[in-house]
Amino acid sequence: MPDSGILSLVKTAKISQDLVQKIARLAALNPTQKQLQTYQDNLDEIISYMDEVKNLNLESVPETARVLEEENIFRDDEVKTENMFSQKEALANASRTYQGYFVVDKILENKEE
Amino acid sequence: MLLNKSIKQLAELLQAKKISSVDLVLESLSRIEKLNPQINSFIKVKEKKELLKIAERLDQSRNKDSSVLHGIPFSLKDAYITRDLQTTAASKILHGFTPKFNATVYQKLIDANSILIGKNNMDAWGHGASNENSDYGAVKNPWDLSRVAGGSSGGSAASIASHMVSFAIGEDTGGSIRNPASFCNISGLKVTYGRVSRYGAIAYASSLDTIGPMAKSVEDLSFILEAIAGKDQLDASSSQQKVDQYSKFLGQDIKNKIIGLPEEFLATSIDPEIKMAIEKAAQELEKLGAKIIPISIPTAKKAISIYYLIAASETSSNLARYDSVRYGQGRSLFSDENCRRIILGTYALSAGYADKLYKNAQKARTLLIQEYEAAFKKCDVLLAPVAPILPTKLGELINNPLQNMLADLYTVTINIVGVPSLAIPAGFSKNKLPIGLQLIGKKFHEGELLQLGYAYQQVTTWHQQPASILKHAK
């Protein structure tokens, strides 16, 4: 196993269980208490390891988001029927539909309710 | 037995009408029936009746102008969208999902008249280097059933190694083609970012994902790449660079090619048997006229952190679309490994942490690009091991998330930089486990990698060794 020695060096908690729970909620995940504990342990170890990126001398280095050198890729603005879904095809894999629409959960509460 | 032969040999036999595509399909299905219960490399196999109908039609339509891939059976990693055929990314979230369009890579292969046999098992959403993180069960290594096949394209590698199909298409985001190719003793090519269209590929990390061929030899890879590479109007990130005739590079001598050996890839606690195999491979290439020089890529030591910060950030965004509205089931079906990566990525992108984590990783990405550019001023290609470890026992990696990530140490920098890398067999450990090497090239220099890999495979026989399961199956 490579670099396993580094794991024993880090034991201070970098990420609390509350924070893991908060992030999970942001990502629309709903872990059980047991999973939260496991994720906290795992992520603590992983994030401690990743602290090494802070030690690189990066001050004057620009960020890279993509490696392609091509820019401004355009295509003609025309309808291509062969790449279009019919309404039936678009809805084919939806678990809930209603009269040709996707059904989603309500996310806004009515004040009076 | 037919599927032990190369694509070129099969195409010649098919042309001469000595064999038929019906024979190939029947052999493929019978081997899958016999070995898949042990290997678990397929999530979905197409109906026999439908496959035979396709094979019969292709046998009839074959003529002297037919593509070399005409009537050849292959499989796809289940990360590719296939019209009216279940596509899952090995996650229960997509169980039963039957897409209504085709991925470009699949469309190109059926346009070349290849026969899709089925969809391969993988680490769910590409998250893993062992193929144990699949909701459809782990893939077992055809060389040792108690060991992993590697990941995330483990099902594709194991299917080729056990001669269930002639070739397969994998996806490589941080080593997912090369790692299982190395663990299963097959050949796999991670292409330059943008060389093959990603349209219809289920995204893991969009700035790193690449689509490439997996097969028994470098020669096979060159034919497949010719069929799948090129600009696609449906993927703006696919490159307009001209597609080479890759098979023309095969057989050209490699005299005076300069091969760099990056010291960082042999220094960190690498398995000594792997290190030895790479050094022997370097000598072999030297005998063929290549020159070996030492190279340094200092930031490669931090590759795992840089890669996982970027990959996790991008995957947290890509997997946000699985909300069970348009397709798929609810998010509670993400595996622990999926959840860890989504949470890690969300954390790395969140206010207060993004500057220190995500942005630093993006800057470190620039450093790596600069270091590779400097290296390629001194040499034509780089030679490195694929993995620092031999195929692990089932259960070893999946239960240790950080160790699971560290298995990618030698493969991830290539994706961060966007260059191509060819993984080929380079020997065996004392207990007969496969070892792989990778040849890393300049952007769009796939032809040069295939040229070198082909030359190496002309003087070595590692890639011709049949997996243990095939010997036992007779």
Check residues B250 and A110 and name the one with the higher pLDDT.
B250
Check residues A113 and B18 and name the one with the higher pLDDT.
B18
Residue B386 domain flag: yes
- Say whether B6 is catalytic: no
Please name the member of B101, B193, B343 whose beta carbon is closest to the beta carbon of A20: B343
- Statement: residue A108 has pLDDT above 60: yes
Helix (H, G, I), strand (E, B) or coil at B239: coil
Residue B290 domain flag: yes
- Rounded Cα distance, B24 and B10, in Å: 9
Neighbours of B455 (CB within 10 A): 24
The CATH number of the domain holding residue B467 is 3.90.1300.10
Helices in chain A by DSSP H: which ranges?
17-26, 33-50, 87-91
Does the beta-carbon distance from A102 to B326 stay under 8 Å? yes
Predicted pLDDT at A13: 64
- Alpha-carbon torsion angle B219, B193, B268, B122, nearest 10: -70
- Alpha-carbon torsion angle B307, B312, B317, B322, nearest 10: 130
pLDDT, averaged across chain A: 85
Q: Kindly indicate the confidence band of residue A3, based on its pLDDT and cuts at 50, 70 and 90.
A: very low
Does the beta-carbon distance from B340 to A43 stay under 8 Å? yes
Residue B165 domain flag: yes
**Any idea how long chain A is?**
113
Contact indicator for B208, B192 with CB cutoff of 8 Å: no
Amino acid letter, B30: S
Q: Which residues of A touch B405 (CB under 8 A)?
A: 46
Write down the catalytic residue from B134, B152, B162, B182: B152
**Containing structural domain, residue B193:** 7-473
Residue B1 domain flag: no
Predicted pLDDT at A11: 44
**Close Cβ partners of B239 (under 8 Å, ≥ 6 residues apart):** A68, A70, B192, B194, B195, B231, B444
Pairing mode of beta strands B42-45, B258-262 = unpaired
CA distance B239 to chain A (A): 7
- Rounded Cα distance, B410 and B301, in Å: 9
**Close Cβ partners of A72 (under 8 Å, ≥ 6 residues apart):** none
- Say whether B77 is catalytic: yes
Q: Kindly indicate the confidence band of residue A68, based on its pLDDT and cuts at 50, 70 and 90.
A: confident
A96: its two tokens: 């809930």
Predicted pLDDT at A113: 56
Neighbours of B100 (CB within 10 A): 15
- Rounded Cα distance, B273 and B238, in Å: 39
Contact indicator for B213, B254 with CB cutoff of 8 Å: no
Predicted pLDDT at A9: 38
Pairing mode of beta strands B258-262, B381-385 = parallel
* Strand ordering across the sheet containing B115-120: B42-45, B115-120, B73-77, B167-172, B210-215, B187-190, B421-428, B434-440, B381-385, B258-262, B291-295
Closest Cα partner for B224 from B261, B186, B176, B255?
A: B186
Neighbours of B82 (CB within 10 A): 23
Predicted pLDDT at B70: 98
CA distance B273 to chain A (A): 13
CA distance B15 to chain A (A): 34
- Indicate the number of domains in chain B: 1
Predicted pLDDT at B307: 95
Residue B2 domain flag: no
Does the beta-carbon distance from A49 to B304 stay under 8 Å? yes
Across the strands, what pairs with B74?
A: B116, B167
Residue B349 domain flag: yes
Does the beta-carbon distance from B361 to A53 stay under 8 Å? yes
User: Chain-centre distance of CA B436, in angstroms?
Assistant: 13
Does the beta-carbon distance from A58 to B270 stay under 8 Å? no
All residue ranges of chain B with pLDDT < 50 are: none
Amino acid letter, B66: S
Neighbours of B281 (CB within 10 A): 24
- The ipTM value here is 0.88
Write down the catalytic residue from B5, B44, B46, B77: B77
- Statement: residue A111 has pLDDT above 90: no
User: Chain-centre distance of CA B152, in angstroms?
Assistant: 8
Taking only the tens place, the pLDDT of each residue in A17-55 is 999 999 999 999 999 999 999 999 999 999 988 988 888
Residue by residue, DSSP assigns B23-76 as: HHHHHHHHHHHHHHHHH--EEEE--HHHHHHHHHHHHHH--TT--TTTT-EEEE
Predicted pLDDT at B425: 98
Q: Kindly indicate the confidence band of residue A12, based on its pLDDT and cuts at 50, 70 and 90.
A: low
Residue B20 domain flag: yes
- Say whether B316 is catalytic: no
